[in-house]
Structure 1
Amino acid sequence: MMEPPISLSGPNDGSGNTARHAVHDGLPGGNAGRADAASVVFGHDRLTIEDILALAHRTRVARLSTAPAWQDRIRRGVNALHAHLAAGRPVYGVTTGYGDACVVDVPASLIEALPAQLTRYHGCGMGEWLDDDAVRAVLACRLASLAQGYSAVRPELLEALLHLLAHDVLPRIPAEGSVGASGDLTPLSYVAATLIGERDVMYRGRICAASDALAATGGAPIRLAPKEGLALMNGTAVMTALASLAFARSRTLARLASRLTALTTVALDGRAAHFHPTLFDAKPHEGQREAARWIRDDLAGRTEPPEARLQDRYSLRCAPHVVGVLVDALSWVRRDVENEINSANDNPLIDPDTGEVHHGGNFYGGHIAFAMDSLKTAVANIADLMDRQLALLVDDKFNNGLPRNLSGATGPRAPINHGFKAVQIGASAWAAEALKHTMPASVFSRSTESHNQDKVSMGTIAARDCLRVLMLTEQVAAAHTLAVAQAVRLRARLSPGDAPLPGALRQWLGAVAAHSPFVEEDRALEYELRAVRAWLADGGDLPHDD
């Protein structure tokens, strides 16, 4: 028995399964469109990041379009490939070897055996295992690409992928081994291997042989037809799946950082005037405006303390300018990730309308690589912002009268209590590691595979780096959340006559207290920090404008 999967995508109960998601074990009947909100239909409309996330989290189920035009398109692509083979025309990866071996002709007698060979020799992934949410997202992204109709795969192959999603039969996919062109070959080989009944899967929380899980769910291994191994593996599904998960967590962090800024302003007796709309009309970056509006909404009704500094320190005053960069980045990150989701990104492509075979490089993950390199930088800046705000809160030289290290202890035991001293040290460590990981992966292209893959995207490494930065930033956020909740309580103790908190902040702090109550006497906070990080990564009961 191998070790359980380690989470790359978000809160995890330790088994590799995200406990918040309901399981639907079984494939419902057909559906002609997306009118059924419980379904994500492949081959119908353009898919969104939210569609991929819904399948990753099992809040919706996957279906194939029943539209005759789409079904005919899939069949015509297969027929076009067969026509090329019947005419004796060469097709890369079908009548030739792979990669640099494209100059090697494959005898007709071995064409049927070639696809499985591709899956087998790529079974060399290493590193952590993708968790369940990430694997479901990978399956959904691969299905989305093949459903474009350019890959010349049979309907049976699409149904086989759908079977894995419907019954939650999840290939065990190692995270490491892809350079992002020719796509995610090695990690996607674990998907292809599952379909032919080889290697291991996660099924009902246990590791078992793919063939056993298929049999238990009424499925069976398939025999890959010409080009189908290449169609499954030669694409960007892993990096795109991870990018979809990273997008959602980054969006939550933007909203969270704004709320924590509002609470830090309250705790430090800071100035709400720094978020006045005129300031942000004068510098009209839309994300910056939105972040300032979130902070204003949270501080609605707050009056300025008469003894407040004329200007708060930058980590408060400039918070919308930091968070706004992330908010604005998410708009174009969404564009690029959703274009990748809705693309045919293998090679070669078969035009089902003309029958032409197009040899190209759509497997190159450059857009995902750049998006993830950029996103992790914007996210790491949020880690740094929260770390700086937390440093102000714990330091009695800067926190405007709060106890040193936010200690809640009073009386004779007060001298031996140290409050959030170590939590702030931990947050600083996590922020530093997040910042260290911002080195862009996309500039580290390596020439591989006999200089055939001599310029590669590193998109999957960039996506994995982004998820690591997100995890570290969420840990900083958990520390900041507990500390600012403590600080607000301490401020109320010092100034009992102050106006009550706005309702939204009061309600949210109540939810925080349910995870971690006020620290009166020092205690180990590790498990509370872990619980709060998972809660925050899962949305943290924050409002969503979209």
Structure 2
Amino acid sequence: MTDPVILTPGAVTLDQWAAIARGAPARLDPAAFPAIERGAAAVAAILAKGAPVYGINTGFGKLASVRIDDADLAKLQHNLVISHASGVGEPLAPAITRLMMALKLANLGQGASGVRPATARLLEAMLMKGVVPVVPAQGSVGASGDLAPLAHMTAAMIGVGEAIVAGERLPATQALARAGLAPIELGPKEGLALLNGTQFSTANALYALFTAERLLRTGLVAGALTTDAAKGSDGPFDPRIHALRRHPGQIETAAALRALMAGSAIRASHTTGDDRIQDPYCLRCQPQVMGAALDILRNVAVTLGREADGVTDNPLIFVDPEGDAHEAISGGNFHAEPVAFAADIVALALCEIGSLAERRISLLVDPVLSRLPAFLTPRPGLNSGFMIPQVTAAALVSENKQQAHPASVDSIPTSANQEDHVSMAAHGAYRLHRMARNVANVLAIELLAAAQGCDFHGPLASSEALERVRAAIRARVPALDDDRFFAPDIACVADMVLAGAFEEAVAPLALPRVTEAAR
């Protein structure tokens, strides 16, 4: 088994979150448990004083003024979970659910949530033993926390609902038993601590950020291969141009494009005698577009890194280290506005990565612009070649444009107007997965088209790095001589894109990183 990621509350890196998203188990740093114990003891001390404290001995939301008897405090937390487990829609992907669980565990590990160590240990054991609650993906407005999806996560902990273990979907009690675990009865404050927070929105946004990084890096590879296929110039990637504008992302993406094309015999074949003075923007302005996407994704990485390390439930428990003056203070850390803005920015970047790639595909299939056979087929007319794959790419980028409308500008009052402004971060982050898959398909079409375009330049070869990319494609998909059933080819290469095959193909050449900004 892969070594577990150790979650040090408040200090988990984006690379560690990415490892969890890829399937690594996770556990809490043992040094966190004394703080958890102190927080639980503080809740007990606050309850002993008898004063009303939101969510501990009162109702929730608009019902906060209703005082709950001590005998009913456990029932209060149980009812909170089952009533709030009201999500609908397709289940969240298990990888994202696991990331959500790890984010919640790290949140609890800071000791400000008031849960008992046993509750945190159950969540940790589920992560370690692969018990993944079934969480419907729809039902959160991104404040007051991601209540519905986190309620489904918590429901599995108390033996309600369903969970997946070893790939099998089972009733939660059976899934826990299969892993040698038992449901827990929640104590005061614990249901609220588990339900409140931004972990669903943050998990979805983080997962999308990691995918967007892969798509941006692959987009640079595809763009370089297309530039060679179209016999475009690498002059626009000259470092002097980009140094004068000073944007770090633009400088780095131009350097990557230069390195990808270095030593290309195709490029060398037309350095003189070509009557084209300037390439279309989709080739010439790659550093400007992809560099801008890189810079804004790095800003997102900083925001999401901070959010992942934060505590976002309510109320928060502040322990008096000198005596018994512990406090439970109500606030609004559950409001996911930072995540909503971050998700909207990722959507913009995904749109532009895909849009630029589609324009490069359009260039390649146009014989006037590319000076290649029409639609990249040796026998146009009898064959349609890449005609309709380009239409598919156009459809996907248009869909992404519609999806990119900012979710964060929307709000709708909930809970009888007690919760009267919400972030829509959950929807904003969840929609990114479909957008990312659309971009992966567009890049797959471009890579296939660019490889086909370079085939026409034989026996001239591209650079060593780009020839490895072509070899990776041709190992799975043969050249298109005559028309064939094309959909499986696109799906195959899209899966390679999402798996990082083309980043690996150009290694050890360095491609820009998005997540390094938040280290």
Structure 2 residue matching 1:357: 3-state secondary structure: strand
Alpha-carbon separation, structure 2, partners of 1:42 and 1:260: 36
> In structure 1, which of residues 395, 407, 423 is the aligned counterpart of residue 377 of structure 2?
407
Q: What residue number does 1:174 align with? A: 136
Alpha-carbon separation, structure 2, partners of 1:136 and 1:350: 26
Measure how far apart 1:467 and its partner are: 2.0
> In structure 1, which of residues 358, 363, 377 is the aligned counterpart of residue 334 of structure 2?
363
Alpha-carbon separation, structure 2, partners of 1:66 and 1:470: 37
Alpha-carbon separation, structure 2, partners of 1:311 and 1:44: 53
> In structure 2, which of residues 268, 276, 293 is the aligned counterpart of residue 309 of structure 1?
276
> In structure 2, which of residues 33, 58, 61 is the aligned counterpart of residue 96 of structure 1?
58
Q: What residue number does 1:52 align with? A: 17
Bigger drift between 120-129 and 445-454 goes to 120-129
Structure 1 residue matching 2:26: 3-state secondary structure: strand
Bigger drift between 158-167 and 174-183 goes to 158-167
Unaligned segments of structure 2, at least 5 residues: 514-519
Q: What residue number does 1:527 align with? A: 488
1:196, 1:223 within 8 Å by CA — same for their partners in 2? yes
Letter in 1 for 2:343: M
Letter in 2 for 1:245: Y
Alignment of 1:36-185 (within 5 A): 38-43=3-8, 46-58=11-23, 60-67=24-31, 70-185=32-147
Alignment of 1:267-346 (within 5 A): 267-302=229-264, 303=268, 304-346=271-313
Letter in 1 for 2:298: S
Letter in 2 for 1:42: L
Q: What residue number does 2:454 align with? A: 488
Measure how far apart 1:72 and its partner are: 1.9
1:181, 1:363 within 8 Å by CA — same for their partners in 2? yes
Structure 2 residue matching 1:103: 3-state secondary structure: coil
The TM-score, its normalising length taken from structure 1, stands at 0.89
1:364, 1:457 within 8 Å by CA — same for their partners in 2? yes
Structure 1 residue matching 2:332: 3-state secondary structure: coil
Q: What residue number does 1:13 align with? A: none
Alpha-carbon separation, structure 1, partners of 2:491 and 2:423: 34
> In structure 2, which of residues 198, 206, 213 is the aligned counterpart of residue 236 of structure 1?
198
Q: What residue number does 2:517 align with? A: none
Measure how far apart 1:228 and its partner are: 0.7
Bigger drift between 450-459 and 463-472 goes to 463-472
2:440, 2:494 within 8 Å by CA — same for their partners in 1? yes
2:55, 2:64 within 8 Å by CA — same for their partners in 1? yes
Alpha-carbon separation, structure 2, partners of 1:64 and 1:205: 24
Letter in 2 for 1:376: A
Alignment of 1:446-457 (within 5 A): 446-457=412-423
Q: What residue number does 1:9 align with? A: none
1:76, 1:353 within 8 Å by CA — same for their partners in 2? no
Measure how far apart 1:545 and its partner are: 5.1
Percent sequence identity over aligned pairs: 36
Runs of 4+ more than 6 Å apart: none
Q: Does 1:381 align with 2:352?
A: yes
Unaligned segments of structure 1, at least 5 residues: 1-22, 25-37
- Measured against aligned partners, the alpha-carbon deviations of 1:134-174 in whole angstroms (never above 9, x if no partner) come to 11111111111111111011111111111111111111111
Structure 1 residue matching 2:164: 3-state secondary structure: strand
The TM-score, its normalising length taken from structure 2, stands at 0.93
1:255, 1:294 within 8 Å by CA — same for their partners in 2? no
Q: What residue number does 1:517 align with? A: 478
- Measured against aligned partners, the alpha-carbon deviations of 1:328-379 in whole angstroms (never above 9, x if no partner) come to 0122111110111111100000013452211100001011100110111111
Q: What residue number does 2:462 align with? A: 501
Q: Does 1:422 align with 2:388?
A: yes
Q: What residue number does 1:437 align with? A: 403
Measure how far apart 1:308 and its partner are: 4.8
Alpha-carbon separation, structure 2, partners of 1:351 and 1:263: 56
Alpha-carbon separation, structure 1, partners of 2:424 and 2:400: 19
- Measured against aligned partners, the alpha-carbon deviations of 1:444-468 in whole angstroms (never above 9, x if no partner) come to 1111110011001111111012222
Give the aligned CA root-mean-square deviation in angstroms.
Answer: 1.4
Structure 1 residue matching 2:259: 3-state secondary structure: helix
Bigger drift between 173-182 and 466-475 goes to 466-475
Structure 2 residue matching 1:41: 3-state secondary structure: strand
- Measured against aligned partners, the alpha-carbon deviations of 1:123-142 in whole angstroms (never above 9, x if no partner) come to 22111111111111111111
**How many residues are paired up?**
498
Q: What residue number does 2:367 align with? A: 396
- Measured against aligned partners, the alpha-carbon deviations of 1:149-200 in whole angstroms (never above 9, x if no partner) come to 1101111111111111111111111110000001110011111100001111
